[in-house]
Homo-oligomer: A and B are copies of this chain.
Amino acid sequence: MISGKTAVVLLSGGIDSAVASAIAQKTNHELFGLSFDYGQRHRFELEAAQKVARGLGLDKHVIFPLNLAQFGGSALLGSGEVPKGRTEREISSGIPVTYVPGRNLIFLAIAVAWAEILNADAVVIGAHTADYSGYPDCRPEFMDAFQRAANLATKAGTERRLIRIWPPLINMGKAEIIKTGAELGVDFSLTFSCYDPDAQGRACGLCDSCLIRKKGFEQAGMADPTIYQ
């Protein structure tokens, strides 16, 4: 470590959090990875998160058990079907059934707690809205509001020691994110995007997340290393 800066990064196993991590490393942040086992039906993403954490050379990676599935309320938590084969127009209209109530609110809150204990400078999150997937908790105005709440909630905040909520991709589109990641040496074969993989962990190729990923690689002019069903 050259700079002595540290950050907690929310690692989902997907492209966005991997690229956000690489950006934070590029600016000399030592990273502590945080993933959640929150009852998601696409639990292969946790294996991907572990691979990404190793690929990036993180010192520490915590997988935090969080039983949100007991509350139900989301197709990603097993209540209802994951939509398939939607058009771009359908994907970009409204909040999808894969919305998980309070997800980034909870993930960021736990990340801030850990960051405060580590005396870290930032919490890095791969959220963005340029390819708007309809999740309200990925919007910049939410990030700003959460920053304020975190400042007021914490001892660090009362001491004017900022734990920066840092979404480095917030204004980027998927193709730009992929190109940036490629320049920074991110190994996309370690990442996983599918909401509804088969028992062998192969991506469906048809859920919103797969479709956004495919289009991103296409627009970036790069090959997607994902093995689809």
Contacts and interface: CB of A to CB of B under 8 A. Distances in A.
Copies in the complex: 2
A158 B137 CA distance: 10
Contacts of A108: 109
Contact of A157 (B67, B117, B136, B157): B136
Contacts of A17: none
A227 interface: no
Chain A's interface size range is: 35 or more
A139 interface: yes
Contacts of A110: 68, 102, 106
Across chains A and B, which 4 residue pairs bring their CB atoms closest together, nearest first?
Answer: A102-B113, A73-B117, A101-B116, A142-B152
6 contacts: A65-B65, A99-B155, A102-B112, A105-B154, A136-B157, A145-B148
Interface of A: 62, 64-68, 70-73, 95, 99-106, 108-110, 112-114, 116-117, 136-137, 139, 141-142, 145-146, 148-155, 157-158
